[in-house]
Copies of this chain bind each other. A is one copy, B any other.
Amino acid sequence: MYNKKMYELGTKPSAIRNLFEYGKIRKSQIGSDNVFDFSLGNPSVPCPEIVNQTLIDLINNTESTKLHGYTSAVGDDGVRCAICDYLNKTYAANVDKNLIYLTVGAAASLTITFNAILNPGDEVVVIAPFFPEYQVFIEKANGKVVVVQSEENTFLPDVLKIKEKITSRTKAVLINYPNNPTGVMIDEVTLKALCNVLKEKEIEYGHPIYLISDEPYRELLYNNKPYLFITNYYNNTVVCYSFSKSLSLPGERIGYVLVNPSCKNAKDVFFTICGAARALGFVCAPALFQYMIPNCLGYTSDLKVYELNRDLLYNNLTNIGYDVVKPDGAFYLFVKALEADANKFCETAKEFELLIVPSDSFGCSGYIRISYCVDTEMIKRSISSFKALYDKYME
């Protein structure tokens, strides 16, 4: 009657969301201090003060019909210019303001991009473990998801495996570093190797293979290395960004899509992005939050809290005996489950009031994701539970 696929997407909530709902009930039963909820990737640190100051300044000092009126569909020109200048300065990049499209957050950046570049049946290579909505977005855009597992232990992209999976129907490869759910950042050697494979395959098949970089965690990097800005490495790139994580504004839905000026037919790809955004019903990104951007570029929420949380969890879990993937960024820790079935392991963890997400949700088995964008005190209180869980398996 109505659309069955959409019905299924609406009724089948994600494992992460289920766990979060369970947590709410459990907290009401035994007190919120006694439940250790590591389920959601929801920033726990306030936005930098300059965000709210800028919003108030804008509201107080901008004429209403300008401030709250439609912007161009692509976004306000001054805002796009500021983003462009900031990226070029920060990453020694060469992006063009005319190839930046402001969006209602990273999810919109991705759906717009997929709907723009995919024709029915086109394949998108996705590297597991991956954010589960990728599959939803790609399939809604009539694309086909081709999953390639990351390298064991490092969780870096397995370039040889990716090479094997690229076919004449491959339209894009999607990467996400710092990664959700592993927290891993790609290194330059691996990135270059990946780009070389894609360039080879472009020549072999005679058409562009887009490298789509979903990078909401770009600024959440704790390895003191510069971020590897993807347009500097590969021509046919589309960057999908959101200010949700860097500025702790996930509810406000503000981000952008950027087409590399070196992309083949870059302007036409950009027009196609404009068309897809229009057809999906994104009229423009929220105006007030567009105008907030120029003042806040380069600022972030207090990332030291996340770094502290990471170290606290990483060191304690490693000391207990857990096998933890060394994370460079984002706010996730990826840990080997203590039994083959991560779902069962997470059920057992609930007995110790630990709410953690099985890796099966992310397209790989045998691991758990711990979101450490939480209160540091909760982490401290949770350590004895992680120890008890470990001991139960070691008995």
Contact = CB atoms under 8 A, between A and B. Distances in A.
Contact of A253 (B265, B280, B283): B283
Contacts of A278: 9-10, 133, 136
A115 interface: yes
B65 A44 contact: yes
B2 A269 contact: yes
Contact of A68 (B118, B119, B248, B276): B248
Contacts of A70: 42, 250-251
A9 B139 CA distance: 21
Q: Categorize the interface residue count of chain A.
A: 35 or more
A377 interface: no
Interface string A86-116: 0000000000000000001101111110011
A282 to B, nearest CB: 7
If over half of A's interface residues share one DSSP class (helix, strand or loop), that class is named, otherwise mixed; here it is: helix
Contacts of A109: 281
15 contacts: A2-B268, A3-B117, A4-B119, A8-B275, A10-B271, A10-B273, A11-B268, A11-B271, A44-B65, A55-B288, A68-B250, A69-B251, A70-B251, A104-B282, A136-B279
Given A7-B275, A10-B271, A11-B275, 16 more contacts: A2-B268, A2-B272, A3-B276, A7-B268, A43-B69, A46-B64, A47-B64, A56-B60, A65-B248, A67-B251, A69-B248, A104-B281, A107-B282, A107-B283, A250-B283, A251-B290
